[in-house]
Structure 1
């Protein structure tokens, strides 16, 4: 028998190895396949960029008006948009590097003019008699200088006034579609129905 094992050693090895290899293959195929890798593509979301701002540049400038400027503008940019300072402008009394915001009014003082009669850079929320907008007489462009009032809403205010007559009190502005309590509160100190 030893002689038989010696001569057929390789055959015996294959006879024993074959079932072992078959068992390994069956075991490997029976294993559940790993979950396929899922690639989820997420559409990039746009970062909102602030839109242009509208600023009223007045006082000692060549062309006082409401100007549409980029959102990162400063007083110097507004002054340039208004054609530059008038010859009698007192630029030392205003901060040319101050950032501008939507609805802001910049009044460039004249030399020798008392500081109390003009405010060099008036934010739209300032409550001064000089900056009140009369909602009974203001044009749509003038109404657009108010915070939160764009062209469509300004036109709605003018149309409402034309259809219903002058506003009796500033509270009547809440009757205009688009003017809710929150927006009205932002406008309260900036508007009048004055004489």
Structure 2
């Protein structure tokens, strides 16, 4: 009987020891988890440097260009390359401005100029020339890039043979970039070119 009483008194201690062990184990687990979470918060997330995207501004579009033949009472007559949308004032400025004997009031400086146009600045007291249509017949400019054989033959010094050579050159090489390119056509020399320079355009 005494042995049984000793056993009963010992059971609460044993139970207390097991419970304490469980509490200690749970506390250790909680500490371990807490340390892990703290370390995770303290470490910065890795930053990838592999996917670096370069942002660039696209280049501005280049404005189109046109050829305008400026002649008459200007300081430097000739063929000039202007930006599309240019006006008569721009063409005259490219040609060095008005000559001393020019009649500026005879032309509209604000008018836009077209590709292949011939701008003639009249001399003081001279009537302004009628607008010439590029590639037109006699009385206008002959467009070397669009004229047929008949229109080419209206140019001084250009007969059927040279007209055919101009058409053949154009077929093989494409458009003329300037009237002076006629020198590349067999049979056309400086004298012929000078005679048609002010009567042709491209």
TM-score normalised to structure 1 length: 0.47
TM-score normalised to structure 2 length: 0.45
